Copies of this chain bind each other. A is one copy, B any other.
Amino acid sequence: MSTPCHPNRTQRLPHLSVDNIVFGIIDGKLNVLIAEYNEGDAKGKKGLLGGWIGIEEDIDDAAKRLVSAITGEQDFHMEQLRAFGAPDRFHLDRVITIAYYTLVRPENYSFHAGFTADDVRWYPADGLPTLIYDHNQLVDAALEQLKRKIRFEPIGFNLLPEKFTLRQLLEVYEAILGIKLDKPNFRRKILKMNLLVDCKEKQKGVTHRAANYYRFDPVVYEKLCEHGFNFEF
C-alpha cells in the first residue's frame, strides 16, 4: 500500500488507495508486476503496485504515477478495473482501493535496484505468490476482465513491440485466453480486419523461414469501432 513518490500523509485522501495490476508478456507468457515493499506496515511482504491519492489529484493520474515511477514511461494502456471496498479488506484501517490494470512492453526497459523504494519483479500470472490483503483477488478480477476485453478490443497490441510477427500476436492471445489457437485461421481472421499494416520487413537470423513484421493501425481501428467488431478466436 505504500509507494514511491507518494504524497505525504497530510496531503493524501484518507481511506482511499489505488492499486495497479501491471501485465506484460515475457517469453510468450503473461506476467504480473509484483512489488516487495521496503517500508510501511507491509514491509517485507509482496503485493501490487499501490499508493495513495493526492488531495487534488485525479484518480487516473494517481494510478499512472505508480507505473511511471517504475518504468519511466508515460505512454501505456491503462484502464480502471473497479473499486474494492469490503470493510475488512485491510486490517489496520478502513481503506477502499480503486484498482487499475495496465499493459506494458517489458522489453522496453529493465528495473534497476534502488530505482524505487520497493523492489519490483515479474511473476507469471499463473504462478503468483501469496499477496497482502485482497491483492490476489484483485489480480484474478483483472485477469478475468482482460480475458473479456481482449475479445472485443484490440488491446493485445499494447503488450507487443511496435513491430511484431503474427506469431507473437497469436501467442499474446493464447497466453491471455489460456487456449491453443489454429495458426492459419488466426492469421486470416486478423488480416481480414485490415488492422495490421505490413512493415515490409522480415525477421533476421532465424533458423527457419523469416516471418513478416506488422504494426497496428489505430486509424483503421477507429473506423472499425463505429460498426463494432469481434476479436473472438
Contact = CB atoms under 8 A, between A and B. Distances in A.
Contacts of A60: 85
Interface centre among A15, A83, A148 (most CB of B within 10 A): A83
A102 to B, nearest CB: 15
A13 B53 CA distance: 15
A169 B208 CA distance: 55
A50 to B, nearest CB: 15
Interface string A83-98: 1011100000010101
A175 interface: no
A98 B80 contact: no
B15 A56 contact: no
A85 B56 contact: no
A82 B100 CA distance: 10
A57 to B, nearest CB: 7
A16 B13 CA distance: 10
